[in-house]
């Protein structure tokens, strides 16, 4: 309080100006992780996203990560007429 506003804007390297610098990803990450096999129907994947309130699902085959499907991947495929 009492600090000149112009001075505060010119000296913005303090933590109050870079709040992300004070935090780690574990504080904001999703703790629920769901994985589906690649042959899962898109509709079933979308239902799992809604049920789990997730925007991404891991795609696993034989305990190996082969991809990630996101809600925007599904929306894009519908908008482009691929689904």
Whole-prediction pTM: 0.69
Residue 15 has pLDDT above 60, yes or no: no
- Which pLDDT value is given to residue 75? 96
Q: Which two tokens stand for residue 82?
A: 């691929």
How confident is the model over 2-18, as a mean pLDDT?
Answer: 60
**Which residues, listed in sequence order, are joined to residue 73 by a DSSP beta bridge?**
none
Spatial CA neighbour of 42 closest among 81, 73, 64, 80: 73
Quickly list H helices, the chain.
Answer: 5-10, 42-52, 71-79
Q: CA–CA separation, 65 vs 62, rounded Å?
A: 8
- For 44-77, what is each residue's pLDDT tens digit? 999 999 999 999 999 999 999 999 999 999 999 9
């Amino acid at each position: 309080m009492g600090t000149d506003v112009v001075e505060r804007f010119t000296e913005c390297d303090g933590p109050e100006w870079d709040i992300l610098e004070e935090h780690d990803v574990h504080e904001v990450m999703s703790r629920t992780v769901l994985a589906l096999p690649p042959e899962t129907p898109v509709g079933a994947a979308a239902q799992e996203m809604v049920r789990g309130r997730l925007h991404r699902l891991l795609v696993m085959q034989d305990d190996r990560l082969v991809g990630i499907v996101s809600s925007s991947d599904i929306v894009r495929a519908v908008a482009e007429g691929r689904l």
